[in-house]
Structure 1
């Protein structure tokens, strides 16, 4: 089964066509997809109306799937490997403005990388568009952390390479005022450390590993560390490092969490439904 990879103009982001992902992959096809993802950071497949089983089979090619804590903000998902990225409540109705899960999901509008609060963290995420707003579906934006690192002056790179960062879901959700974590989640998601600078396994290029879950820098004054993280996030998400995905119904959007940041963008979530089904594969080892 041959595929066609069509990069966007910048090379960060590409469309992969010639596949029906409802059919099982083989090793050669997976290797071609992995190569496209490693090179472009973000890839997408149009017209992929996948079942949960088909999406899970796809993500398992990239590594063990992340099982998420059972908590109120994921109540619609029965499969522990999926997360409900939607503005729909447990009864299938659009969530009111004061709904607790709506508040929790607002943090997705900050630049972040999925599951960096865990050890091992996510390596690859796959997001399937189940229902999109009829008018102007909101983009999902990405930033290339390899290109951002390479744009830093060499002397600045030297000051950053040895630093380690504490990542925590409580840090990212506190930005929107969400604190209602259940006991299961608190046990499963203690704060964890990662290097500020990683080497991307697929390309050998170095990249920043930051985002909204990044709380503070180890052995640095907390306020100074937070200021440095905010400065690096602002630098690395400049327009020249970005790709904005324009959603179409039944898209499967796939990205490399180890070398990208992403964020959702706003839409009229009191008028239009938006339902995306999320899953991710984790790194094989802690980083």
Structure 2
């Protein structure tokens, strides 16, 4: 008589304060048996790497669904893989907007409930030495701050808007372009996100425009100072892509960015997302 055995999660740390590699094969991952453990590891480590797992698009969607509620790219949209590339031939509608992805950010800062996580599969990497994806653990960055700084930052609120990221790559945009980006919306968010779990993370990045009640210079000192701290070597991991890699990150406690590459090189990632489960501010 055969006895079924449940899969066990197999992983190893990448760096002390960020990142783990998951070493299970496709069968274990698609079964859903270790989905709960993967979710726990994701919150604890910020970033999970599944080296050369080689998911097809259908398998990536199926794996995403084992972990939570699948989030289509557009509300009410189909459950499809989203192409992530700066190549305008492959992605004419959003390649321009994706230029902001080259700078540290959290997705969904204009939403009440941001996505929980993103999953990227590498279809074609850029040439070696370019096009890595960087990650910064904003849980760990907050937890390692001096106590007096934690208390100070917990009092602040910050205006976030995609228009603020425009100035990172186009310092002198036209009024028409600025108006278009401003039309996407903005939101006032806590600088320190107090999660239901009891942990706290920093809400910063290139969409952060100004600390409420502070001057432009004071705001820049706070926002960019914290970015420097959170993106220091202790809290960051840069993933060098190989075909078939899948990387998943916790969008509620991790910033990310694409590192520079030639937009015409053909770099292509396929993305799926998990719907958010927690508002930036909860009752």
The aligned residue for residue 191 of structure 1 is 186
The aligned residue for residue 45 of structure 1 is 50
| 8 Å contact from structure 1 (residues 5, 36) kept in 2 | no
Aligned residues: 269
Q: Where do 1:29-178 residues align within 5 Å? A: 29-69=34-74, 79=78, 82-90=81-89, 92=90, 101-133=94-126, 135-136=128-129, 138-177=131-170
> Alpha-carbon deviation of 1:84?
2.4
| 8 Å contact from structure 2 (residues 158, 212) kept in 1 | yes
> Alpha-carbon deviation of 1:159?
1.0
Name the CA distance, whole Å, in 2 between partners of 1:135 and 1:32: 33
> Alpha-carbon deviation of 1:268?
3.4
1:14 corresponds to 2:9: no
What is the RMSD computed on CA atoms of the aligned residues?
3.0
Which deviations, in whole Å up to 9, do the C-alpha atoms of 1:57-77 show, x marking residues without a partner? 33334444444459xxxxxxx
- Quick one: which of 225, 229, 241 aligns to 1:231? 225
The alpha-carbon distance between structure 1 residues 160 and 134, as it changes in their structure 2 partners (threshold 3 A), is: closer
> Alpha-carbon deviation of 1:266?
1.5
Which deviations, in whole Å up to 9, do the C-alpha atoms of 1:163-204 show, x marking residues without a partner? 222221222134223775998x977x42123211123455x4
> Alpha-carbon deviation of 1:107?
1.7
Report the TM-score when normalising by structure 2.
0.82
The aligned residue for residue 3 of structure 2 is none
Name the CA distance, whole Å, in 2 between partners of 1:257 and 1:67: 16
- Structure 1 window deviating more from structure 2 (132-141 vs 210-219): it is 132-141
> Alpha-carbon deviation of 1:102?
4.4
> Alpha-carbon deviation of 1:134?
5.0
Name the CA distance, whole Å, in 2 between partners of 1:33 and 1:221: 42
The alpha-carbon distance between structure 1 residues 165 and 21, as it changes in their structure 2 partners (threshold 3 A), is: farther
Q: Which runs of 5 or more residues in structure 1 are unaligned?
A: 71-77
Name the CA distance, whole Å, in 2 between partners of 1:11 and 1:261: 14
- Quick one: which of 228, 243, 257 aligns to 2:251? 257
Name the CA distance, whole Å, in 2 between partners of 1:248 and 1:200: 34
The alpha-carbon distance between structure 1 residues 32 and 49, as it changes in their structure 2 partners (threshold 3 A), is: same
> Alpha-carbon deviation of 1:211?
0.9
Deviant stretches of 4+, over 6 Å:
none
Report the TM-score when normalising by structure 1.
0.81
